Amino acid sequence: MPTRSHIPRPAARRLSLYLRECESLLTQGVPTASSESLGARLGLSAAQVRRDLAYVAQAGQRGVGYDMATLVTVLQEGFGLERPWRAVLVGVGNIGRALLSYAPFRESRVAIVAAVDCDPATIGSQWGGRTVESMQSLGEVVRRGGIELGVIAVPASAAQLAADDLVAAGVRGILNFAPVQVTVPEGTACSHVDVSVELRCLAMEVALGGEHRPRRGRVGARSR
Amino acid sequence: MPTRSHIPRPAARRLSLYLRECESLLTQGVPTASSESLGARLGLSAAQVRRDLAYVAQAGQRGVGYDMATLVTVLQEGFGLERPWRAVLVGVGNIGRALLSYAPFRESRVAIVAAVDCDPATIGSQWGGRTVESMQSLGEVVRRGGIELGVIAVPASAAQLAADDLVAAGVRGILNFAPVQVTVPEGTACSHVDVSVELRCLAMEVALGGEHRPRRGRVGARSR
DNA sequence: TTATGTGAATATCTTCACAGCG
DNA sequence: CGCTGTGAAGATATTCACATAA
């Protein structure tokens, strides 16, 4: 399978959207879809869809379109999702609880399977079937659970410490919800979801009116 | 104020980070910072910082650096943040409640000031000082509150309807947390925060190991 | 005929490197 | 000097347009 080594980053993010869309279409019983129709659903041009999909596989059939079942398989493989991924949540505040309660993170291919917090009042409580453990036990939680990813949902002031702890515990990728940049050593992936930034950018876009040229879609997070 | 018309999109997202960083430095009593040091804090190259900041203003002083106070003002103006922005939340489930409880959205320049839901059991409840109103009253809530932005935090299946309702109510920008693409008419801004996508991309990045070339930072969301 | 896959053209973004201001 | 602002170069990403396969 010629999963090309160098998929452009923006394309990689879109591939995740294709995957979800294809899964959805597949469960709806749609066996096949063209780049045109996929693009329409996701707000992308047909050319873009074809280019992106060509990065991971020759999964289309000329004159017909893409076979959803094949595409789902190929995309999952491209994302390393043929095996499940386990994540630990650090920080069980408002955002943390929302994440724990969010259905897709209980069962899906990449799931939050454990949570830790430093507040004694929170430790021991249950959320979406997981019991919150102490911050100190993070290392053990990670080891015991075979956990590879960490999610940071602590206040900004504690985010860097949380990141350090996660790295020390052996996690290989971090998703940070705190509104600060965290630094991680080379070799650890780290992306950032910042809701305040999103809202601000939205305000800016509205403020600037339509004058921003109307490019097609984008999905995002920052990483290094 | 020569706020140049065409700020590249990626630059615009970073400007939001500069703004936050500068606000933070300012409250810490740091009067001035160089592109070098700002870049170090945000994981960006000095050249990038200079280029980005040059889009909004000649706010730097050669040989010295950027004056934090000036920069904050200029950036706020660039973002249309010299006036406050008000947003309404649609959908008071787990994510919705987290957003309502999230301190920065209560007070800051762009705040969530109202919430609606269609579940009678939720309507009337209070979260972070806002009382949840009925979905039907959305139009009136928007009008009464002078609201310009909408935040969608409903299940995927209801997201498009929520978007339609928001547009009908006269909102000019939408931030969508539901894991589906929503379509909005020309002239309405719409960006998308998709936590599942982020986690998946993180898994992919880890799966692919370090082989992805180590570019510098990025922040993100999709929009059109 | 329909719809993919892809070179080539274009548009966008980032980095380099240095002139020039304070 | 030190550090910004910016042309020009380089790298990435997107779109076009068409040969090609079913």
What pLDDT is attached to residue A125? 97
Say whether residue B17 is in contact with chain A using an 8 A CB cutoff: yes
Whole-number Å distance between alpha carbons of A196 and B111 = 10
3-state secondary structure of B14: helix
Which residues 21-80 of A have a C-beta within 8 angstroms of B? 41-43, 78-80
Q: Domain residue spans in chain A? A: 9-78, 85-197
Residue numbers in chain B where pLDDT is lower than 50: 1-4, 214-220, 222-224
At residue A79, the pLDDT reads 87
**Closest CA of chain B from A135, distance in Å:** 22
pLDDT of residue A4: 46
Q: What is the pLDDT of residue B13?
A: 94
Tens of pLDDT, residue by residue over A108-134, are 889 999 999 999 999 999 999 999 999
Of A138, A74, A142, A79, nearest to A108 by C-alpha is A79
A189-192 and B173-176: which strand pairing?
unpaired
Q: Please provide the size of chain B in residues.
A: 224
- For residue range A57-66, list pLDDT tens digits in order: 788 999 999 9
pLDDT digits (tens, 9 = 90+) for B128-178: 999 999 999 999 999 999 999 999 999 999 999 999 999 999 999 999 999
The architecture in CATH of the region B9-78 reads Orthogonal Bundle (1.10)
Structure confidence at residue A1 (pLDDT): 38
Domain B85-197 belongs to what architecture?
3-Layer(aba) Sandwich (3.40)
What does the pLDDT read at residue B208? 79
Q: In the Cβ-directed half-sphere of A11, how many Cα atoms lie within 13 Å?
A: 18
Chain A residues 171-190 with a CB less than 8 Å from chain B: 172-175, 179, 181, 183, 186-187, 189
Q: Left if phi > 0, otherwise alpha if psi is -120 to 50, otherwise beta: which for B53? A: alpha
CA of A157 to C1' of D22 (A): 59
What's the pLDDT score for residue B186?
87
Give the phi and the psi of residue A132 in degrees, each rounded to 5: -70, 130
A175 Cα to chain B: minimum distance (Å): 7
Pairing of the two strands A130-134 and A110-117: parallel
Q: State yes or no: pLDDT of A32 exceeds 60.
A: yes
Tell me what pLDDT residue B220 has. 45
| Chain A residues whose beta carbon lies within 8 Å of the beta carbon of residue B6 | 212-213
B32 is near strand C: CB distance < 7 Å:
no
**Separation of alpha carbons A187 and B62, rounded Å:** 36
Instruction: Flag if B97 and A98 touch (Cβ within 8 Å).
Output: yes
The residue of chain B nearest to residue A79, with distances taken between CA atoms, is B204
Which runs of consecutive H residues, i.e. helices, occur in chain B?
9-27, 35-42, 46-56, 68-78, 94-101, 104-107, 138-145, 156-169, 195-207
What pLDDT score does B222 carry?
46
User: Does residue A156 surpass a pLDDT of 60?
Assistant: yes
pLDDT tens column, A169-217: 999 999 999 999 999 998 899 999 999 999 999 999 898 775 555 444 3
Report the relative pairing of strands B85-90 and A149-152 from DSSP bridges.
Answer: unpaired
Residue B211 has a pLDDT of 59
List phi, psi (to 5°) of B63. Answer: 85, -15
CB proximity under 8 Å: A 109-128 to B: 109-110
CA B79 to chain centroid, in Å, comes to 11
User: Average pLDDT over chain A, rounded to whole?
Assistant: 90
pLDDT at A2 exceeding the cut of 80: no
